[in-house]
Amino acid sequence: MSSYFTDLAQQYIDGEWRPGTGSWDIIDFNPYNGEKLASITIATVDEVDEAYQAAARAQKQWAATNPYARRAVFEKALRVIEEREQEITEVIIAELGGTRLKAGFELHLAKEFLREAIHLALRPEGKIIPSAVDGKENRVYRVPVGVVGVISPFNFPFLLSIKSVAPALALGNGVVLKPHQNTPICGGSLVAKILEDAGLPAGLLNVVITDIAEIGDAFLEHPIPKVISFTGSDKVGRHVGTVCASHFKRSVLELGGNSALVVLDDADIDYAVDAAVFSRFVHQGQVCMAANRVLVDRSVADEFTEKFVAKVRTLKAGDPSDPQTVIGPVINSSQADALSATVEQAIAEGATALVHGTTTDNLVEPSVLTGLPADSPLLRQEIFGPVVFLAPFDGEAEAVRLVNDTPYGLSGAVHTGNIERGVNFAKQIDTGMFHVNDGTVHDEPIVPFGGEKNSGLGRLNGETMLDSFTTMKWISVQHGRSGFPF
C-alpha cells in the first residue's frame, strides 16, 4: 500500500507523472493516527493551464475514435480495479479513515459506475427531425462538450471522481480532475493510474493536486472547459455555479443535504431503527444523503427511541482497519471540532443528549439529541458527522412540513406499513430523491441522482450523463434549391 502514497504523490499532466512547481506542499495525513502518508508539491496556475491544454489537444482524436474502442478502456479499467481491490481498500482506509465496510461499499459502487460507463460510450444517438421547408433535412447530432473540469470531495473520493470522470471520457471528452486536498490519492492520482494502466491515451485525463490558496478560481475560469462537475458543500457550490455562469459554462452541482428519515405510526419499528442507524452513521455520517434528522410519529416515539439509542450504543468507534469498527475518524480536526461545537450548541439551546459521545483527536463518537427547539438553526443545516436529532411529530401533515423545513432537498426516507401511503408522502417532499421503507443513502448507476433547492443543479447517472457531458448540434441539409424572399 505504501507504494501508492510514494509513487502517486505527483501531478499527472499530459501523460507524465511529475512534481508540481508550487512553493509549498500538501501533506496527506491518515486521519485516524496522524501518520504522514504523502507530501505533494502543489500545482500552480501554469500547471492548471497545461492540464487543460493537454486535455484539449487529446480530445479531438479521442472524440473521433470508434466508441467501441473507447469502451474497451473502461472494460480494462474494471479489471484493473478488481485485480488491485485489496490494495485499494487499504488506501481508502488509510487516507479517508473509512472502515472496511465503507471501503467495500465504495469499491462496489465504483465498479458499478465503470460498468455503466462501458455502456455509455455507445449511448449517444442522433435524430432526424421533420422540417417545414420542402427538401430540407434536419439532423441533430449529440457531440462531446470538449473538456470537462471535475472537482471531487473527500468523503467518497474514489467513487465520486470515477462517477464524473469515466462518463465524461466515455462520451468523448477530455478531463482535468482536481481532487480534495485531504484525499489527493484516492480522489485523484489513483484514478489516473488505473485509467493509464487500462490504456487511456495520454493527455485525456489530467490530475492537478492544488489549493485555491494557490490557484484562486483559475480552475473554474479557464477558457477551455465547457462543463464543471463539482461535488461538495453548498457554500462552495454556490461560488462554483456563479463563476461558471459568468463565463458561460455549464455547471453540474452535487451539493449537501439535510435528509430526514420519517417513521410513521404503522412502521415496522425494528426495521426502521436499523435503517435509521445506518442512514445516519455510515462513514461516520460524512455522507451528503445521511439522515441528519429522524422524525417519529409520537404514538411510536418512545418505542423507537429506546431501540434506536440501544443500537447506537453498540456501534464500535475506533481504528478503521479493524473489521469490527463501525465509526472511524472524521476527515480532519476542524470537522471534529465543529461537530463537538454542534453538540454543545444543541445542549445549550435546551436539547437532551440521549447519547453524548466523546471526541478524541479526529475520532468523534455518536451523539443522539432530542428536544431541540423547533426554531433551532441546527435542524435546518447539514451536520456532516455522527450526530443525529430525534424529533416527534403529530400526524403526516406535520411530518411533511418538518421534512421540507430546510434549505436542502437531496434525499430522505419514510417508513410505513402501507407502500402507497409512503409513495404519497414522498411526492410531497421537495427532494430530488426519496425512499420508501429503506435508508436515505443510496446511489445506483442508471437512476437520476441529484437534489433540489440548495442541494444542487442538474443530475448525474444513466441517461442524465448525456445531458451533463454532451451537447446538441443541429445541421440542416437543403436538398435542391431553397427560395429566399430577396
Question: Do residue 209 and residue 80 come from a single domain?
Answer: yes
Domain containing residue 134: CATH number: 3.40.605.10
Residue 237: inside a domain: yes
* Inter-residue long-range contacts of 24-30, CB under 8 Å, 24+ positions, other chains counted: 24/214, 26/181, 26/184, 26/209, 26/210, 26/211, 28/95, 28/182, 28/183, 28/184, 28/185, 29/332, 30/94, 30/95, 30/97
- Choosing from 288, 365, 382, 396, the catalytic residue is 288
Tell me, yes or no, whether 224 and 307 share the same domain: no
Its domain, for residue 366, covers 259-436
Q: Spell out the per-residue pLDDT of the chain, length 486, in tens.
A: 679 999 999 999 999 999 999 999 999 999 999 999 999 999 999 999 999 999 999 999 999 999 999 999 999 999 999 999 999 999 999 999 999 999 999 999 999 999 999 999 999 999 999 999 999 999 999 999 999 999 999 999 999 999 999 999 999 999 999 999 999 999 999 999 999 999 999 999 999 999 999 999 999 999 999 999 999 999 999 999 999 999 999 999 999 999 999 999 999 999 999 999 999 999 999 999 999 999 999 999 999 999 999 999 999 999 999 999 999 999 999 999 999 999 999 999 999 999 999 999 999 999 999 999 999 999 999 999 999 999 999 999 999 999 999 999 999 999 999 999 999 999 999 999 999 999 999 999 999 999 999 999 999 999 999 999 999 999 999 999 998 999
Does 171 fall in a domain? yes
288: annotated active-site residue: yes
Same domain flag for 284 and 375: yes
Q: How far is CA 205 from the centre of its chain?
A: 19
Active site residue 254: yes
Rounded to two decimals, the pTM is 0.97
* Active-site entry in 47, 106, 112, 254: 254
Mark whether 86 and 231 lie in a shared domain: yes
In a domain, 371, yes or no: yes
Number of domains, the chain: 2
Choose among 62, 64, 53, 463: nearest CA to 225. 53
CATH number of the domain to which 385 belongs: 3.40.309.10
CA-to-CA distance for 207 and 375, rounded, in angstroms? 44
Q: Are residues 343 and 226 in the same domain?
A: no
Enumerate residues 6+ apart whose C-beta is below 8 A from 348: none
- What does DSSP say about strands 174-178 and 205-207: parallel, antiparallel, or unpaired? parallel
